[in-house]
Amino acid sequence: MFSGVSDREPNETGTTDEAGPAGDAAVEPLPTHRWAGSPAVPLAEVAARLGVPLDAAARAAMRRLPARFPRPYAELLHDGGPADPLRRIAWPDPEETAFDPDAIDDPVGEQPLKTHPFVIRKYRDRALLIVTHRCHFYCRFCFRAGQTVEPKLGEVLDAIRSLRGESALREIILSGGDPLVLPDEELAGILRACDALPQLRTVRIHSRAPVHDPPRVTSRLVGRLIAASPVPLWFVVHTSHPRELSPGFYRAVGMLQGGGIPVLNQTVLLRGVNDDPATLAELFGALYGAGVKPYYLHHPDRVAGTARFRVAIERGLALHRALRGRLPGPAIPEYVLDLPDGSGKFPVERLRREREGLYCAEHADGRTSHYFDIKAV
Ligand code: SF4
């Protein structure tokens, strides 16, 4: 972990703005030379904006997953009561530290698939590269909560080198955390290092920066990424609710597209945030209108502390079916479940129901996976 200087000023409680009280921070901030993005708004200001207390329960939840609010996202927040969708996404909830009987350790089965401390290989043709565990903003439903060992640049470059002999590899996915917390030059260096992998066809960058901190996406950044990458780039933005599609979001996406980088979208189905057909249709329709292809709707992962976001499989299927007739075909994403056994994403429509609450996924290679659902909500 890094112990360098924070780019955020202490707030009025004397703590940094990224975590709980000094001494019990869930993550240490990146040193300034490795951080790019807007400064954080003091937590007390965000609490006042939302009309919530910055109390011991919130602080305890921040030890599970930090809280951090760049100004552009903080300005989307208002006091809409406990059911407000962005408040649910944003503000630490006491439930996060309560016993969660439906939680699954390693909810998408990644840990055994690490071929390097910062490389996850679920598929032979793709490698997911963890370039940081830090984010501009922390989504309370995040399935990578609890990751604290921050990769140094040298370790990320070593991770890329570890893939040299992988002849079936075709794509590297830069993930995290949010890769765009890293400064332009560091990202460019990571992309340049991919030149050592001649078998590569594409690099995909997954980031919520256009949502959480749109000014992070600049024409300079786009130009540097394109110049540094030895192969075509794809960009995947992650959105949760139509209110997140700010003018800044559209500007950021337009900059990426204007530079020739195609932009796709992923959304997690979240109870109390987007679990109704009208909200999903509004979100996917707006993205499609902006030239952003909605490609995955993720069934929520069973990460500890996120029970309030979970939706049962049958309900998710009904919601996904309700999108037909509301949206053009290309605007409807595939609804997928990332299976806890690490076998990867599986179309929920193709799950075979064996009995109430038990589903079977039959993979193309003949393997099967079983999934026990939560009780219906
Ligand atoms: S931006 Fe992604 S990695 Fe970061 S907290 Fe949100 S979901 Fe997790």
The atom of ligand 1 lying closest to the CA of 206 is 2
Q: Tell which atom from ligand 1 comes closest to the C-alpha of 208.
A: 1
Distance in Å, CA 135 to ligand 1 centroid: 6
Atom index in ligand 1 nearest the CA of residue 144 equals 8
pLDDT score, position 26: 53
- Which residues have C-beta atoms less than 6 Å from ligand 1? 135, 138-139, 142, 144, 176-178, 208
Can you tell me the distance from the alpha carbon of 290 to that of 144, in angstroms, rounded to the nearest whole number?
29
Render pLDDT for 112-169 as a digit per residue (tens, 0 to 9).
Answer: 999 999 999 999 999 999 999 999 999 999 988 777 789 999 999 999 999 999 999 9
C-alpha distances (whole Å) from 61 to each of 12, 76, 146, 372 are 19, 22, 12, 27
- Ligand 1, atom 7, lies closest to the CA of 142
Beta carbons of 377 and 315 less than 8 angstroms apart: yes
What is the per-residue pLDDT for 27? 58
- How far, in Å, is the centroid of ligand 1 from the Cα of 295? 18
What is the 137 CA–ligand 1 centroid distance (Å)?
7
**Mean of per-residue pLDDT scores for the chain:** 92
How far is it, in rounded angstroms, from Cα 365 to Cα 62?
A: 42
pLDDT tens string 183-225:
999 999 999 999 999 999 999 999 999 999 999 999 999 999 9
pLDDT value, residue 3: 28
At 122 the three-state DSSP class reads: strand
Atom of ligand 1 minimally distant from the CA of 141: 7
Q: Are 5 and 152 in contact (CB under 8 A)?
A: no
pLDDT at residue 28, as a whole number: 62
Predicted structure pTM score:
0.93
Return the HEC string of 56-119: HHHHHHHHHCCCCCEHHHHCCCCCCCCCCHHHHHHCCCHHHHCCCCCCCCCCCCCHHHEEECCE
Answer whether 333's CB lies under 8 Å from 304's CB.
Answer: no
Going from the Cα of 360 to the center of ligand 1, the distance in angstroms, rounded, reads 29
Q: What is the residue type of 261?
A: I
